[in-house]
Structure 1
Amino acid sequence: MDDDSEARVPVTYGHHAHVTGPFFHGTRSLVAPGEELVPGRGSNYEADRVSNHVYFTAALETAVWGAELAAALAGEDPAAGHVYVVEPLGPFEDDPNVTDKRFPGNPTRSYRSRDPLRVVREVDGWPGHPPEVLRQMLDSLARLRERGEAVIED
């Protein structure tokens, strides 16, 4: 998708068919093909938070960030995260946590749904980020939390 936010068509629950996959989900959880990721489960990114949505992306790198951050925030090796190809089973919308909030438009191609995602397969050999880059991202998230700016709109 073009990064030109003026030409971008917002993705809403009523207008999402123009967005095509493949779609990916990054997590620290081991999930088998055919299983469904559903809302109402614990968040990968915030202890004691239940997510009202399931989040996914059309960009492999964004899912890799999700997998690495979820594992690292749980005190695990970031490389222990998992990236899956998923299929949304219902309508979806732009993820408001990144779309126009942190990045103009939706260059991370991030979405969320109130409906399940079906796991198609696990992505093997995904390219991880260098440890120093991951450390910078974790430090940045910690600073946001310290300032009370790490607000997840869910």
Structure 2
Amino acid sequence: MTDERDEGPFFHGTKADLGVGDLLTAGFRSNYRPEVVMNHIYFTALRDGAGMAAELAAGDAEPRVYEVEPTGEFENDPNVTDKKFPGNPTRSYRSTEPLRIVREVLDWTRLSPEALQDWRAKLAALDAGGRGEIIN
């Protein structure tokens, strides 16, 4: 559970085409490690952070950012907080409870092709070096 309650708004980046009221749930394969089935659904209070996640997600569909509403308790995402970085500078969270789609967000900043390639290379290097472990 969060120590200090972040009021949002919250965002989720994906390549899935979703509608208002749809629920995002845990139990699907990781966008970054497809061999891992995720026990949580992840989200952030940073719109452009969700955009980056959408662009890095697996698949060829158009990246999308949605404003979401947690339907239950959530906690700091340990993949980018505390164990790896002090505090929660990315305002990233996870929950075992669904996230409800509030709306699609259209005004997020896209990565340049070069930045997207750089991020994909960084993720591949983490995987190759064994440091890309997902805390699930």
- 1:29-79 per-residue CA deviation (whole Å, 9 max, x = no partner) reads 111110100111222222232110000000111101110000xx43x26xx
Task: Name the structure 2 match of 1:115.
Answer: 97
Amino acid at match of 1:47: P
Q: Distance in 2 between matches of 1:130 and 1:122?
A: 21
The alignment covers a number of residue pairs equal to: 136
CA contact (8 A) 1:57 1:63 kept: yes
Structure 2 CA distance for aligned equivalents of residues 111 and 122 of structure 1 = 19
Question: Which 5+ residue runs of structure 1 have no aligned equivalent?
Answer: 1-11
1:9 is matched with none
Q: Does 1:126 align with 2:126?
A: no
Is residue 31 of structure 2 the alignment partner of residue 49 of structure 1? no
Cα contact 1:28–1:44 (8 A) shared by 2: no
The CA distance in 2 between the partners of 1:22 and 1:111, in whole Å, is 12
Q: Aligned residues: percent identity?
A: 49
Does 2:57 match 1:61? no
TM-score by length of 1: 0.82
For the pair shown, the structure with the greater C-alpha radius of gyration is: 1
Q: CA RMSD in A?
A: 1.5
TM-score, length-normalised on structure 2? 0.92
